[in-house]
Structure 1
């Protein structure tokens, strides 16, 4: 199957999920996670109509940006080490894993003057020790503290759900993140409009969309593995 064919099937699934939940498919953005595929496959994704590329390793992130800068928006997903920030700020458009003040400090330090960094705060909703992110009960206080870092704009929350054989089992994780997002949005914080939800991957994205995902991160189901 080509990326274009995969994308068509994914878009149909999104339409069905939106129909069942009263949403507009136009409000769901697909991020193509390309960490396991080549530059050629990434190019195929862009040519198929994908406008957002996601990476979580520095080497791959820089390689994809150098090859396709200006052709897509770039998202750094997964855990972001502070020492990597200097290589990515000014290149990547979105950061999906802000979960500590030391990282916020480094992002602030490296951000060009008068620019804003579009950040998602990562929340470990499931509580799994293997996953990064803040505990849900810590998240609001953390976001309030980010007011001290004017380069950072908290556009939303991100989570990684546990892998489940039945994707329906991930629904409580996505729903809890949405409820938390709604609480933060109600605070009307200038530095944290928090309108977005980055959640859902290849195995469970239809459930995430039903629960309000605005960005879904798709790898194998879209571009496969090489």
Structure 2
């Protein structure tokens, strides 16, 4: 199947999952994860109607964004080092993976130089896996309060990565917990903080994520395939 056909299939699955969850399918955006895929694959997807692309590596994002002339929205979804923030300042619409105050402070600095504000999500390590980034559920509210003080950063929601399960149902409790955490943060009514976005769900489990409230699902292999493009 072509990238366009894969996108159409994913969108119809998102729509069905949203309806099962009693949600408006338009409340869910598909983030096409284009890491390790060439600009040609992004262009093909963009021409098939895909507008949001997620990248994990700074250098790859910078190079690809220079090649892709289509009107696309870049999201940074990988682990971000503070010393690389400068390279993506003003280039990305949303950073999904802010997990510590020092990183948020650097984002604030770099976007401040541009006279603009960065939209970010706070990454939460619900599973407490040592291999995954993210603040702990216990420290989440304190981190949100501290980041909310920064003038050039806007918190728009939360992101998580559950453990890998062969059965997508295994991930469902983690998605549900992220939604409940976002409700807790919203109830705290911290000035300038919105809980508009929930970034959760990948190729293997995005339908469960949508049923549990995801607004952004990060899908790569189900769109682009496992193979590398020549």
Range class of TM-score, shorter chain: over 0.9
Structure 2 length normalisation: TM-score? 0.95
State the alpha-carbon separation in 2 of the partners of residues 48 and 140 from structure 1: 40
Over the aligned positions, Cα root-mean-square deviation in angstroms equals 1.2
State the alpha-carbon separation in 1 of the partners of residues 92 and 156 from structure 2: 15
State the alpha-carbon separation in 2 of the partners of residues 205 and 167 from structure 1: 8
Query: Where in structure 2 are the equivalents of 1:159-178 lying within 5 Å?
Result: 159-178=160-179
State the alpha-carbon separation in 2 of the partners of residues 79 and 37 from structure 1: 18
Partner residue in 2 for 1:224: 225
Partner residue in 2 for 1:71: 71
Query: Where in structure 2 are the equivalents of 1:140-219 lying within 5 Å?
Result: 140-219=141-220
* Pair 83,167 (structure 1): closer, same or farther in 2 beyond 3 Å: same
* Pair 99,33 (structure 1): closer, same or farther in 2 beyond 3 Å: same
Consecutive unaligned residues of structure 2, counting only runs of 5 or more, are none
State the alpha-carbon separation in 2 of the partners of residues 190 and 45 from structure 1: 38
State the alpha-carbon separation in 1 of the partners of residues 50 and 96 from structure 2: 18
Query: Where in structure 2 are the equivalents of 1:126-145 lying within 5 Å?
Result: 126-145=127-146
Task: After TM superposition, give the deviation of residue 88 of structure 1 in Å.
Answer: 0.5
State the alpha-carbon separation in 2 of the partners of residues 9 and 70 from structure 1: 22
Structure 1 stretches of 4+ moved >4 Å: none
State the alpha-carbon separation in 1 of the partners of residues 104 and 19 from structure 2: 38
Task: After TM superposition, give the deviation of residue 69 of structure 1 in Å.
Answer: 5.4
* Pair 69,81 (structure 1): closer, same or farther in 2 beyond 3 Å: farther
Task: After TM superposition, give the deviation of residue 60 of structure 1 in Å.
Answer: 0.9
